[in-house]
Amino acid sequence: MTGISNAMVKGAPEEDEAVAPVIAVLRDPRAVFVAHNVGFDWGFVRGAMMRSGGIVLETTQLCTCKLSRRLHTELLKHDLASVAEYCDVSIAGRHRAMGDTEATATVLRQLVTRAIEDHGAETLGDLVALQYVPRTASKRDTKKKSELAPYLEQLPDEPGVYYFLSSKRNVLYVGKAKSLAKRVRTYFHDAPLHGRRVTRMLRYIKHIRWETTGTELGALLLESREIKTRQPTYNVTAKDYIAPSFLRITNEDYPRLEVVDYVDTDGAEYFGPFRSRVVAERLCVMMQEAYHLRSCEGGLQPHADARPCFEYHVKKCLAPCAELQTLQAYRTSVETARSHLADPRQGAASLLHERMAELSEQERFEAAAMYRDGLREIERMMIHRGTTPISVQQTDLVVMIPTNDRYATAELYAIRSGRLVMQRVVGLKGSRTMLVQELEEVYQAAPQHGRFSEIELDELRIMTSWLHQHRQGAVVVHVSVSHLDQQIASAIAELRSQAADQPPSEYSQIPEHDDTAH
């Protein structure tokens, strides 16, 4: 059924060998065992523990199926495939260990976010308790649903942003949704499940307003701007701009690689954004060591009589300050680092893979996990999906994403030198002459000068993260002004082709046609 053959598992480790690192991780008192239908999966791990030594660890367990039943009350089915589809999570290899694991992890992140936003969950204990909370409807909930019925009946099944308003039409809460109708109605379900914060907010809701967007990405961008502008009382997160981290290659004779939280048009190159500054700093140190880049502050004035610092003696730097490395050789190292940083398959990612494998062999699994996270960050930040070194300022892209009416329209995002400069819904069947002319004007004009604003950094962060998770659903054009007409025509043709394709089977790893039968 799953397509797994004897050949695939030939040479696989025996159970004792395979379960040892799992037990090592679970011995950590902070460990949490997460699964979709956790009782079923834990039964296998428990059995392996018994056979391995007879000791069963008392590990905190979290069930994404139970959480989904309480957080996604509008869903009829809560198997992994249904929940993943609802959360817009693709499963690479359904019913395979890693495919299901990665899908469960992604679903968990969304469930945690929803538990925080909708139920005021603050600790792991809150999350564990939430999966066992009974669902009951109070008379107050039923009355509130009746009061707001005119709004609930008009909500469209489209992506957008919704606003909960008080009797004086003050904004209480701003949220985004892939489907406004489905999301807003979950607050007023027949068997609602809400924490104290949401329950308190519901008492004051007298009006509901919404604004549709072409795509979920449009909703994310609008929601972020609205929360930061309006500062709604009941929005706990996203009220402040938090600058993401970037790796910066400085513009000087002997460039340095450093971690910063801004992007500027100062001649330096910026790569990112990274969600975690810790990961960015770890990657920075790794790149400095791998390519012998200096980590000292300020400009260099090399002199043969200079004394190399400690970094030289531990072979982390080749001491260009003491003329032990030529300017040309140093710049060659910088160019190699730049190229590898921007190549998610062969460069920095390759280094992270090697280091992660070394730590795993040493059974230093927690340290290996840090490098795994760094690898994911590198892959996540590459909005352009190419192997050509492209810094933030070199990023000239047109991103097209099909709307709900995927046969007729798409939402277009024009990114010029890393800044979002155009966002609109365009038709896929009409003339593209005016569109191409507008885009040509955008990319022929000189890029905006100066440091990126908080809004621009936030837009870059949101778009990069969303495109990483939904890269199969978007068409990304690397803009060449002289070929822009052909590029837009090809992008539209690709979107039409995607719309015509049927969604893949749940068992997509099984060939649809048996080539060996011929």
Q: What is the pLDDT of residues 11-39, one digit of tens each?
A: 888 888 888 888 888 988 889 999 999 99
**Looking at residue 204, what is its pLDDT?**
93
Band of the pLDDT at 342, cuts 50, 70, 90? low
Residue pair 367/25 in contact by the 8 Å Cβ criterion: no
**Looking at residue 380, what is its pLDDT?**
60
For the entire predicted model, the pTM comes to 0.70
Mean pLDDT of 360-381: 65
**Looking at residue 516, what is its pLDDT?**
38
Rounded to an integer, what distance in angstroms lies between the CA atom of residue 368 and that of residue 357? 7
**Looking at residue 502, what is its pLDDT?**
45
**Looking at residue 349, what is its pLDDT?**
59
Among the residue ranges 2-6, 289-293, 383-387, 486-490, the one predicted with the least confidence is: 383-387
**Looking at residue 150, what is its pLDDT?**
93
Inter-residue long-range contacts of 26-33, CB under 8 Å, 24+ positions, other chains counted: 26/57, 26/59, 27/57, 28/366, 31/59, 31/60, 32/59, 32/60, 32/61, 32/62, 32/124, 33/59, 33/60, 33/61, 33/62
- Beta-bridged to residue 208, according to DSSP, are 164
For the packed helices 64-71 and 97-119, what is the interaxial angle rounded to 10 degrees? 40
Rounded to an integer, what distance in angstroms lies between the CA atom of residue 407 and that of residue 384? 25
**Looking at residue 504, what is its pLDDT?**
43
Cα separation of the two ends of the chain: 22
Among the residue ranges 47-51, 167-171, 252-256, 456-460, the one predicted with the least confidence is: 47-51
pLDDT 10s digits, 108-146? 999 998 888 777 677 888 888 888 877 655 666 678 888
Residue type, 123: T
Q: Average model confidence (pLDDT) for the chain?
A: 84
Q: Work out the number of other CB atoms within 10 angstroms of the CB of residue 301.
A: 9
Among the residue ranges 268-282, 375-389, 426-440, 448-462, the one predicted with the least confidence is: 375-389
| Phi, psi of 425, rounded to the nearest 5 degrees | -90, 130
